[in-house]
Structure 1
């Protein structure tokens, strides 16, 4: 059986092993986006559907699941391919809205996991970066990250570009974007009381956030999604 895993350089590492004396067609283990390097070119692996060779590497030309399988036309060689699915949104798109969870907050930026687009939750989250200058449209020099976001917050963002290492650059510089779910230090889901404050219903303590003001239509659209994310 041929399997693969992601290395620290976001490349696919191939491991071949036998189980019960059989070698099957491989299995999907990760998601790739267009332009992502999957592995170095070597004599045992060839590029298949949804991939291409460039210089010393094999790259993905599609968004989908990476698959390794034995090449029937060339026994002994493994073919790497990228298979698409029928999901409407497999990856975040430039200009699109995404739901993300803050994983780290520093004075200059937040690191987030992009966990969903519209009603679709990703099995494997994408990496995102929310920079200080992209938090709001005005008074950018006065933004203090710790007063806008904290780890664990669920944030509605817009994709503004693709950064290095297949991460997405995000923005909340619109009234409709920002924190949509946050928990207080007491562990309660907080309620928005202004565009920059949320309140704990248990202790009545007020905490700073960059609060989103999504439209009613959008709230109705993602109610089920938010429920799944919160209880996950």
Structure 2
């Protein structure tokens, strides 16, 4: 039976550099190896004489959106300056709790930013692919962008409650009523499609 895993906290001294070599999740200082994150201590013997010491994050820990990550979010509300969203996925990983984000009018499209109208790009309850551009602050939360062609609305429902079909980069159509609505439509790449 394996011994229980030792849990480490950031800054905790693990051992000397004479006993082991530093692996992922660790750093060395003054001849000692320290943990750089919270997680479980792992000691592996590889090809070298000394074992490799690393700290591995708990797989149950909360994943956080970081700058540059593509996120899936749901539009909660819109006004003339921005759309408020709840972030549901980072990449293809569902989040345990939702994070709030903002897509500003100037971050919706890459071109003709001054002509963008938020209500012609998103509607409440739309599902949107966006990229995190800033961690924001206490008021604005995560700042998101849909300026790339691959980003924008991926799922939208019409007034009739039917999932709409994209017909161009700026319009979606209801298959039942054939009414068209403006959206900032994403050109979805296969890796972002949920199966």
Q: Same fold (TM over 0.5)?
A: yes
Instruction: Note closer, same or farther for the CA distance 1:164–1:63 as it changes in structure 2 (3 Å cut).
Output: farther
Name the CA distance, whole Å, in 2 between partners of 1:63 and 1:137: 39
Question: Larger relative contact order (C-alpha < 8 A, sep ≥ 6)?
Answer: 2
Name the CA distance, whole Å, in 1 between partners of 2:185 and 2:82: 17
Instruction: Note closer, same or farther for the CA distance 1:163–1:114 as it changes in structure 2 (3 Å cut).
Output: same
Which residue of structure 1 aligns with residue 189 of structure 2?
Answer: 215
- Alpha-carbon displacement from aligned partner over 1:121-142 (angstroms, at most 9, x marks no partner): 1121011010000000000000
Instruction: Note closer, same or farther for the CA distance 1:115–1:91 as it changes in structure 2 (3 Å cut).
Output: same
Which stretches of structure 1, 4 residues or more, deviate above 4 A after TM superposition? 61-64
1:91-130 to 2 correspondence within 5 Å?
91-130=64-103
Match of 2:150 among 161, 170, 176: 176
Name the CA distance, whole Å, in 2 between partners of 1:125 and 1:196: 28
Structure 1: stretches of 5+ with no match in the other structure: 1-48, 52-60, 65-83, 225-232
Name the CA distance, whole Å, in 1 between partners of 2:145 and 2:161: 27
Higher Cα Rg, which structure: 2
Q: What is the root-mean-square deviation in Å for CA atoms of aligned residues?
A: 2.5
Instruction: Note closer, same or farther for the CA distance 1:162–1:138 as it changes in structure 2 (3 Å cut).
Output: same
More helix by share: 1
Instruction: Note closer, same or farther for the CA distance 1:142–1:90 as it changes in structure 2 (3 Å cut).
Output: same
State whether structure 2 residue 152 is matched by structure 1 residue 191: no
User: 1:89 touches 1:120 (CA, 8 Å); kept in 2?
Assistant: no
Q: CA deviation at 1:104?
A: 0.6
Match of 2:131 among 158, 161, 167: 158
Q: CA deviation at 1:167?
A: 1.4
Structure 2: stretches of 5+ with no match in the other structure: 1-8, 12-35, 40-56
TM-score by length of 2: 0.69
User: 1:50 touches 1:62 (CA, 8 Å); kept in 2?
Assistant: yes
Which residue of structure 1 aligns with residue 22 of structure 2?
Answer: none
User: 1:197 touches 1:207 (CA, 8 Å); kept in 2?
Assistant: yes
TM-score by length of 1: 0.58
